[in-house]
Structure 1
Amino acid sequence: MDDEYAKFIRRMNPPRVTIENNSCVDATIIQVDSVNKHGILLEVVQVLTDLDLVITKAYISSDGGWFMDVFHVIDRDGYKITDQEVIRYIQETLESDTFFVSPIRGSVGLMPSQNHTAIELAGMDRPGLLSEVCAVLTDLHCNVVNAEIWTHNARAAAVVHVTDDSTGCAIEDPKRLLTIKELLRNVLKGSSDLKTAKMTLSTPGVTHRERRLHQIMFADRDYEITESSRDGKNDDKSSRPHVTIGNCIEKDYTVITMRSKDRPKLLFDTLCTLTDMQYVVFHGVVHTGRLEAYQEYYIRHVDGIPISSEAERVRVMQCLEAAIERRTSEALELQLLTEDRVGLLSDITRIFRENSLCIKRAEISTKSGKAKDTFYVTDVTGNPVEPKMIDSIRRQIGQAALHVRQNTSNSPTPPQEKTISFLFGNLFKARTFHNLKLIRSYS
């Protein structure tokens, strides 16, 4: 009944997506108007993010059952979106029946694949963990075709797609799957993670991989600072996210503001956490500068209640900080471009481990027989890797195959800007913000 009613409402008020390049000098403007539903903001942003587009500004409004968003978008090279195929895909996807009628999904525009087996991993992080996982998979005749690995606060999570190395297809034998599960769990347990190590098999393609990584790490409570995670924590507060939470008393909203270093997919990451924590963004603004990003959201819980307790405020701030930091890598970026083969990832990660490199994050992909893998690495103490060590590793792997992309640890610190609340400057009267009581800052 809910779906039928949603279809009826949509027929009466079909979504409209407007994409134009004339009104802004340096960005493409995408405006989305539609009947509102919980999670729609994240799904729209996910469509744009999956196309490798960068959102430089966003204006969000979803009061009264209607969703209206305006995004300023560029490609990774900083240019407007002029490719007609991309423009047509955005419009067709965001205006499609399946997109707006279906319940919240983990995936937009991705069809389930029967060509691989999806493995999800979670456990305590330690040097050499990825190498051990890859060695086990190679021994079990599994070929890693795609994977993403995140580490944060001494926790590690991964979504790995594997195939049978002899058939190139998904692994379906229940006994073999059970063996894979048991051996990987043993690797994840190590010596100190007997209770929290997790290894599951998921339906391939059903859940968006990066969205799923956020959910895994959130469920693993990586936002909590423990003694083991504090040892490797960056103490430079100027480089860490700054989150504040206050109350807009007149309109009965909770107001969240965030300042952090700008980077790709930042908006997607914060919206994942707010959505998975069951908060609704009613209004918001996102603005990115040369180095710093500013986000401001007016939210309530799905039950209509704003944040009301100190414990809830602290938890939301911790979770948003974690969402921003998970993809941030104060590490050296290495990219491997070479012919794919069975056991390649196991060999590469073994070389990293033998040379005392620690993998903080990794993106693994293969296409048309080519491997394109990106690793973010430090030494085992979390410090930058010595250049002579990288030279040695490149000689072992191949100078032409392994490339040094950048060292994000040397990125300049963004200048501190005055935090102001400007979203409703014309919508609310000035006296509204006399009642905006700042509760607490967390950095």
Structure 2
Amino acid sequence: MKKVCWPYFDPDFDNLSERIFGPTCRVCIDNESMEDCTVVKVDSVNKQGLLLEVVQVLTEMNLTISKSYISSDAGWFMDVFHVKDEYGNKLTNQNVINYIQKAIGSTKESPNLAKVKAYADYLFDSDSEQYPSEHTAIEMTGTDRPGLFSEISAALSDLHCNIVEAHAWSHNDRLACVAYISDQSTDNPIDDPHRLAAIEGHLNTVLRATAGGTTACTQQEAKTAFGILGAEGTMTDVERRLHQLMLSVGDFDGPCEPMSTSTVGTPGSESDEEGRKTVVVIENCDEKGYSIVSIECKDRPRLMFDTVCTLTDMQYVIFHASISSRDGYAFQEYFIRHVDGYTLSTESEKERVIKCLEAAIERRVCEGVKLELCADNRVGLLSDITRVLRENGLTVVRADIATHGEKSVNAFYVRDISGNDADIDMDFVESVKKEMGPVDLEVKNNTTRPSTDDRTSQSFSLGGILKSHVERFSHNFISIK
């Protein structure tokens, strides 16, 4: 009998490149170089989308990126970020520093995000038993109208669905909504195809309905998709998914009906500060083979995430970038190519990228009154809250809802039925408390930059990110026909 000989492979062969060239991802957090901020340096083997993953880690922790330098030519990724915490201070909590290093380090290859999350839960004493391991996730898109989010909430309540978490954006008369639901009686995911089909049909009816049977938009078809999502699934940040959904319904093409526009300022002009708008310019650098995207707009948290997310999802590769801010304004410059290696060669392509970046910057900024409401969690709570808002002549333009144990934490940005700034008085507050029972309600009249200072919105704070499963989308969705 012939002896079969198998070739020998050194078990350390896979680590050879790392032993020769050093670790493939190095994260250095420096609190000594700068007086007023922490410097985060990342060196890694490059891959498409790595910049977005790094920015996402910093964004999820509510860190403000005041300055950044990016270079990712020749297969190597080198980044420097100047960051502060949500209170404008350096990062001094060693647990936070350890988490950043571990989370960014896991992006060098397909990460085991479950292990990273478990590590974060251990660091911050998160109570993972507050949440079931899985929920049924629904994503919805369609033409927005006053009261639509309230109708969606009521429809899910009528269908005996418990809304565990929900996030909705409205921009240019389009709506994107992501909701995590469970069965009202069992608190388990809903996986019965017939019931999912019934829920889809009901929601599509709500999304397609319009006052008087007509719509100002040409044909913005309503869409609904379902998925059973848990901690082990393919994960995409929920805000990135909202960007993708808004992009899919073409919110960058402008509102369905003509709306009054503010004064458009140009970079460096002497126009009124409130009149200055986002300015995006694209030029080609033929010598180096890049397209240069320059952005000037009001500075705010999560701005870099929004722009990098949009360019990445539009299949552009960022090779170099420079980010800075001063006097309340942000200045961003990206050197990009399409994934096929070509620059933006046509005016139509440049115009589309400009529109999409403007929409990405604007869709998060909700000009309206912010209502923060905390109450004991119960089935139908969201439906009751949004009904009270609608009965008081208020429409929701953005919503972030999360449940934490026995509490429901809700943040709504509202305007009046005509789309103007809402007038919230004590009579309204008393009406809500009378209708809803014991609730904590806070009104923030901040119409300049209200939407991204989510210090009290637990769904996007560090604690909320670590406790709730807000990163789970994209590939797990199935469409019920």
TM bucket, shorter chain: 0.7 to 0.9
Match of 2:319 in 1: 282
Verify the 8 A CA contact 2:433 2:439 in the aligned structure 1.
Answer: no
Match of 1:102 in 2: 110
Aligned match of 2:221 in 184, 191, 196?
196
Verify the 8 A CA contact 2:172 2:251 in the aligned structure 1.
Answer: yes
Verify the 8 A CA contact 2:375 2:438 in the aligned structure 1.
Answer: no
Question: Which residues in structure 2 correspond to 1:344-363 (within 5 Å)?
Answer: 344-363=381-400
Verify the 8 A CA contact 1:9 1:35 in the aligned structure 2.
Answer: no
Aligned match of 2:285 in 248, 267, 273?
248
After superposition, the Cα gap between the structure-2 partners of 1:322 and 1:109, relative to the gap in structure 1 and judged at 3 Å, is farther
After superposition, the Cα gap between the structure-2 partners of 1:398 and 1:234, relative to the gap in structure 1 and judged at 3 Å, is farther
Verify the 8 A CA contact 2:71 2:319 in the aligned structure 1.
Answer: yes
Verify the 8 A CA contact 2:135 2:228 in the aligned structure 1.
Answer: no
Verify the 8 A CA contact 2:388 2:432 in the aligned structure 1.
Answer: no
- Residue 391 of structure 1 and its aligned partner are, at CA, apart by 3.9
Verify the 8 A CA contact 1:47 1:109 in the aligned structure 2.
Answer: no
Match of 1:214 in 2: 243
Aligned match of 2:35 in 25, 30, 37?
25
Q: State the TM-score, normalized to the length of structure 2.
A: 0.78
Verify the 8 A CA contact 1:106 1:212 in the aligned structure 2.
Answer: no
Verify the 8 A CA contact 1:114 1:170 in the aligned structure 2.
Answer: no
Match of 2:465 in 1: none
Verify the 8 A CA contact 2:169 2:364 in the aligned structure 1.
Answer: yes
- Residue 338 of structure 1 and its aligned partner are, at CA, apart by 1.4
Amino acid at match of 1:215: Q
Q: d(CA) in 1 for partners of 2:16 and 2:249?
A: 40
Q: d(CA) in 1 for partners of 2:99 and 2:91?
A: 12
Structure 1: which 5+ runs fail to align? 412-443
Deviates more, 1:259-268 or 1:118-127: 259-268
Amino acid at match of 2:69: Y
Q: d(CA) in 2 for partners of 1:295 and 1:107?
A: 33
Aligned-residue RMSD, C-alpha: 2.6
Match of 1:402 in 2: 441
Match of 1:170 in 2: 189
Match of 2:420 in 1: 383
Structure 2: which 5+ runs fail to align? 1-12, 119-130, 265-274, 451-481
1:371 matched to 2:396: no
- Residue 217 of structure 1 and its aligned partner are, at CA, apart by 0.8
1:68 matched to 2:95: no
Match of 2:453 in 1: none
After superposition, the Cα gap between the structure-2 partners of 1:145 and 1:30, relative to the gap in structure 1 and judged at 3 Å, is same
- Residue 80 of structure 1 and its aligned partner are, at CA, apart by 0.8
- Residue 289 of structure 1 and its aligned partner are, at CA, apart by 2.4
1:291 matched to 2:328: yes
1:186 matched to 2:198: no
1:124 matched to 2:143: yes
Match of 2:50 in 1: 40
Match of 1:264 in 2: 301
- Residue 9 of structure 1 and its aligned partner are, at CA, apart by 5.7
Match of 1:426 in 2: none
Q: d(CA) in 1 for partners of 2:49 and 2:18?
A: 16
- Residue 171 of structure 1 and its aligned partner are, at CA, apart by 1.2
Verify the 8 A CA contact 1:106 1:211 in the aligned structure 2.
Answer: no
Q: d(CA) in 1 for partners of 2:76 and 2:223?
A: 40
Q: d(CA) in 1 for partners of 2:113 and 2:398?
A: 22
Question: After superposition, what is the alpha-carbon deviation per residue over 1:116-139, rounded to whole angstroms, capped at 9, x for unaligned?
Answer: 110000000001101111111111
Question: After superposition, what is the alpha-carbon deviation per residue over 1:375-431, rounded to whole angstroms, capped at 9, x for unaligned?
Answer: 0111111211113364454444468521112322488xxxxxxxxxxxxxxxxxxxx
